[in-house]
A and B are shown apart, each in its own frame.
Chain A
Amino acid sequence: MTTGHGVLEAYCHRKYPLRAVNISTVRVQAMRLKSNNLVPILRADSLYHREVRLSAPFDIDRTDTLHLTEDRESIVGVSVDDALSTERRGAVLLQVSSNDEAPAPRYDRADIQVTNMSLTGKFSPDGIVLWLTTLLDARPVANAAVELRDDANRVLWQGITNAEGFAEAPGWGSFGELPKAPWSAPQIWAIATKGDDMVYTASSWNRGIEPYRFDVMTDWNPQPDHVQGVIFTDRGFYRPGDAIEFKAILRTRQGGDWRTTSGTVLLAIRDAMGDRLMSDSVVLNGFGSASSQFVIPPEARLGYYSIQASMKSTDPAVREQVVAAGSFRVEAFRTGEFEVTARAAQNAYTLGDTVRCTFSARYLFGGAMKGEPVRWRIRYEPTWFTPQGWEAYACGRSTGWYGETAGPRTKLLVAKDATLDARGTLRIEAATLVGDLQATGTLVFEADVTLPSRQTLSGWATALLHPGKFYIGIATSTTFIARDNAVQYNVVTVTPEGNIVAGKSLQCRVLKREWHSIRKASPRGGFEWESEAVDSTLLTTPIVIDSLPTMLSFTPPQAGLYVIEVRGTDARGNPIVSDTYVYARGV
């Protein structure tokens, strides 16, 4: 049986599914949950532990006989009607166990809301919004009683839903609720009742839809009013005996807005073993910042040090609260005895060119590093590039913007060992292959020089690598349009320097992208979606670019995602491709 939280639509069969094989009977126990007892029951940590038997005063205790085919898994329905109201609605805690002998008895439990209502809640320290709708037709439920409770079953707030099914409550910060741990928010329970129907939800019930899944940054420890900030040192790397300058900048969140923090802050430094080396109370200035200095003792431990700013906590259970934290390293290191520099022969190359770079290494006292070993390499890193003056145009593939995930990757083009010449220099060159890389990239020339004393230092230089002698630019009149409206777009061919290249023959294609999806039975049970992007060509237009951008258009016949793709080839044979997208909305 699926344990945990469940919902049964009150207007349907009201039977909770149970998968069973070779079991003749099950013991069914059920308890009616009401607004005043559900929190203490549901918040128990071991409620859904299958090995634990719950000895609660169940309203129903019966034995159901199962009529199963031998050795075949079947789904049977466990009725909860006799634990519900006369209208067959309400919430129950169901415990099902097998009466057949088993080496390890198992007690499956679920809290089941048998209802025609759905409660959606948004919880924050500053405000809570509840939305009550029907399950059957998703209509608002007006004039329903709603209440908020905390884990201690204290009623925090009561209200009534409006005509749209909304109820707006103050944030949990106004009820004096505080997080129990630095990585959590207080759990708030919302309960809505109308007649004999009742639904509930809790602020922590967000599994699968946590904010991070939407790339939304979230505060794991939200608080009603709190101080937050940064603390940093002048460097990140010190020797024992060095002096450290450090600074904290703090802001206070109050009433949903950020203000400059005032008061006294405790600045503290701990060494790699966590021993406090320094603590200093500093009054914040008018900018909400404070700074201090510290000299690392010559005998100090090596390793990672922490630096913290703390202030008096608003939580009476916690005296001090860390409001900013950082780190730095204390190590016994040698300063560089030499330097390595790199200089690319050109700022930019085109695919098919031979690229060149010169590395030089010299001692800081002035001598050339003659004959020292060098390990050098050239890497390609994809980058964005738009010729100057054509920033409104999409140049290159718009990978990642409309569902693409696989784009060009960093690639090691060449890596070799060599020796510095008599002047401490090394000139290298490497050929790039036509058509090998199809996106603009940064060429990174790197060299590592190692002394006999095993000190290794590196030097590097970069140059742009264009995928061809020209770029194709596409500019659309809009990225959003209603279907059946024409999308105009300009196509241009320009050199990397931004000068128009006339006379280039190109192929323009407009693609409609859709996903073909099927639901497949999963080996883990249940069903899973499999989606595959499929492009269908709406139209193809061959064009020859003039001395001005060429205007084209197409009309999306349906809502959806459309990709405009333009291809060409430069004189070396490098394929040039650019694309952009347009979303067409429904009417």
Chain B
Amino acid sequence: MCTPGGYDYVAWERTNDDRIELIADAKSYKPGDTARLIVKNPYERAVALVSVEREGILRYWKSTLVGSAPELRVLLNSTSPPNVFVSVILLQKRVVGNPTLDKEQDVGKPTFKIGYIGLPVDPRTRHLVVGVAPERNHYRPGDTVRIKLTVNAMCSTRGKRFPCTSRSRKAACCTREFV
């Protein structure tokens, strides 16, 4: 089935609220990636407020979405890690005139839908790899246990680990297995 404009109609799941689902093309991203999202748009054509958020509104823009499965592209930048949330608010104009008094039957009234999706953005830097290595595996009561604590950072370009060059503070505690 095709809409008059040539855009496909997809019968997505309908729910009794104003939420829609956004689908991302990957489970996680890195800075510089462009996330591609499919908006499960219940409208033939809708104007959209798209915003990228995290503890506030980072950026926003207006878009026009056509068809049931339009694609949105969101560029992820250096401020995106560790995650951002993309919000899409769809506004639908009045599509059928002559509304009746019964609001439930007025299927052509102006409506809105809103969708949210969280996008993990892994910087692949700033990762601290903490190592705990005792000298031996077995000790006797009264022995002194020496443990080597290491902190390494992940290189951002080659994926290799190298010793952390900045200061780090380590805390270690030792407990009995039987509380």
Q: Which residues of A contact B (CB under 8 A)?
A: 2, 9, 12-13, 15, 17, 75-77, 118, 120, 122, 124-129, 131, 133-140, 164-166, 171, 208-209, 211, 213-216, 219, 222, 234-235, 237, 245, 247, 253, 256, 285-287, 289, 291, 333, 335-336, 339, 403, 478-480, 483, 514-517, 526-529, 531, 533, 558-561, 583-587
* Residues 7-50 (chain B) with a chain A CB within 8 angstroms: 7-8, 10-19, 23, 25, 36, 38, 46-47, 49
Range class of the B interface residue count = 35 or more
Report chain B residues within 8 Å CB of A483. Answer: 8
Given A135-B110, A253-B55, A17-B102 contact (CB < 8 Å): yes
A527 near B104: Cβ-Cβ < 8 Å? yes
**Given A9-B110, A118-B91, CB of A586 within 8 Å of CB of B102:** no
Interchain CB contact under 8 A, B13 and A287: no
A129/B51 contact (C-beta < 8 A), A214-B116, A514-B11 known: yes
- Check B13 against A517 for contact (C-beta < 8 Å): yes
B56 adjacent to A514 (CB under 8 Å)? no
Q: Which of B122-179 contact A (CB under 8 A)?
A: 167, 169, 171, 173, 175-176, 178-179
11 new A-B contacts at CB < 8 Å, known A135-B94, A136-B94, A517-B11: A122-B51, A129-B60, A131-B62, A140-B62, A208-B18, A480-B71, A516-B11, A529-B16, A558-B1, A586-B7, A587-B67
Nearest 4 pairs of A and B residues by beta carbon: A586-B67, A214-B116, A559-B8, A559-B69
Contact A514 B10 (CB under 8 A): yes
The CA of A521 and the CA of B43, in the complex, are separated in Å by 22
Binding site for A on B (CB under 8 A): 1-2, 6-8, 10-19, 23, 25, 36, 38, 46-47, 49, 51, 53, 55-57, 60, 62, 66-71, 85, 87, 89, 91-94, 99, 101-104, 109-110, 112, 114-118, 167, 169, 171, 173, 175-176, 178-179
The CA-CA distance from A259 to B28 in the complex, in Å, is 25
> For the complex, what is the distance from the CA of A478 to the CA of B70, rounded to whole Å?
17
Instruction: Give chain B residues whose Cβ lies under 8 Å from the Cβ of A9.
Output: 94, 99, 109-110
Instruction: Considering the complex, give the chain A residue whose CB is closest to the CB of B69.
Output: A559
Please give, as numbers and ranges, the residues of chain B lying within 8 Å of A75 by CB-CB distance: 101-102
Q: Which residues of B contact A140 (CB under 8 A)?
A: 62
Chain B residues contacting A515 (CB-CB under 8 Å) are 11-14
Contact indicator A559/B93 (Cβ below 8 Å) = no
- Return chain B residues, CB-CB under 8 Å to A164: 62
CB-contact partner of A533 in B13, B46, B49, under 8 A:
B13
Identify the closest chain A residue to B6 (Cβ).
Answer: A587
Contact of A15 (CB < 8 Å), options: B6, B14, B101, B110? B101
Q: Which residues on B sit within 8 Å (CB–CB) of A216?
A: 85, 116, 118
Q: How far is the CA of A136 from the CA of B17 in the complex (A)?
A: 22
